[in-house]
Chain A
Amino acid sequence: MTENAVYDAIRTRRVTRRMTTRPVDAKDLDLVVRAARYAPSAGNRRLQPVRVVTDARQLRRLRMVSPGMLPVPQAAIVVCIDRQRAAGYGFRPDAPGLYIDVGTAAATLLLAAHAVGLAACPVTSFSRTAAARLLGLDAPIVPQLIVCLGHADQDQPPAIGKWTSGRPDA
């Protein structure tokens, strides 16, 4: 335990796999999105643009092509890689640094969501091509990670990997 607020935020953040239908406040969402610009970025190149999704129909369709999206989110932030700009810096498409910065952006967004009282769930299991088409992203912008946002349901399924007996009452 510590009295350091940042450390405590890191320690108490959780992935939320079941969300309520309560909407996400626009001000809270804006704060979370703005936090992405403070994420560590190699060379401060900022090759990971984000797309905010709040339209209910778009969210529903995005979830339909995202097998890893367990919650039904009220908003989502899609972290992408700008492949054209990355190539301009001499990055190969599979250069690990591009994906590491997706991770730092995601970690920052998750903590920011926690800071404003929003529940969040990162999702990497989704069809990149389908998501790009649904979001109308131009070819060089490739979605890589989705941060689902909403409010946590009191009843949460166990974390993946924590299931042992299969008995809900165990």
Chain B
Amino acid sequence: MRGWMSGREAEDNPVLTEAAALDVLAYLISAARTQLDEAAEYAPLRLITAARKLADHLAPRATAPVQALVSALDALPPTATPTADRAAYIARLDEICVALAECLLATR
């Protein structure tokens, strides 16, 4: 893992190719459509999957704070939904949100 970067260095660190961005873009557009026919419990699942796709593309060249956020995201199974254990699901998403805040504090 690379060393920590300053906020300015992170802002100047290009990490996403057009192909990678298109992958995420295609997913988001398609998910907006499919969600209209899907169970509501899939809504956070789809958003997290989109975030995971972005994270996967970012990870190889990301700064350490972003790497930590990616790791936090990876801890949630790709098939997790809120239905079976809503409280645990919310708790896990809150943990990821805290990791997000830590990432923002480290890069800004």
Give A contacts to B, CB under 8 Å. Answer: 17, 64-68, 70, 125-127, 129-130, 157-166, 168
Contacts and interface: CB of A to CB of B under 8 A. Distances in A.
Contact of B34 (A68, A158, A164, A166): A68
Interface of B: 22-23, 26-27, 29-31, 33-34, 38, 42, 45-46, 49, 75-81, 83-85, 88-89, 91-92
Contacts of A126: 30, 34
B80 A67 contact: no
Nearest to A165: B88
A164 B85 CA distance: 5
Interface of B is mostly: helix
25 contacts: A17-B78, A64-B22, A64-B30, A65-B29, A67-B34, A70-B79, A126-B34, A127-B30, A127-B34, A129-B33, A157-B77, A157-B78, A161-B81, A161-B84, A162-B79, A163-B80, A164-B84, A164-B85, A164-B88, A165-B88, A166-B76, A166-B80, A166-B85, A166-B91, A168-B77
Contacts of A68: 34
A165 B38 CA distance: 24
A158 B92 CA distance: 16
Contact of B75 (A129, A161, A164, A168): A168
B84 A65 contact: no
Secondary structure at the A interface, as helix, strand, loop or mixed, is loop
B33 A127 contact: yes
A67 B31 contact: yes
Contacts of B27: 64, 67
Nearest to B50: A67
B25 to A, nearest CB: 9
A66 B80 CA distance: 18
Given A64-B27, A168-B77, 4 more contacts: A64-B30, A125-B31, A157-B77, A161-B84
A115 B14 CA distance: 47
B85 A165 contact: yes
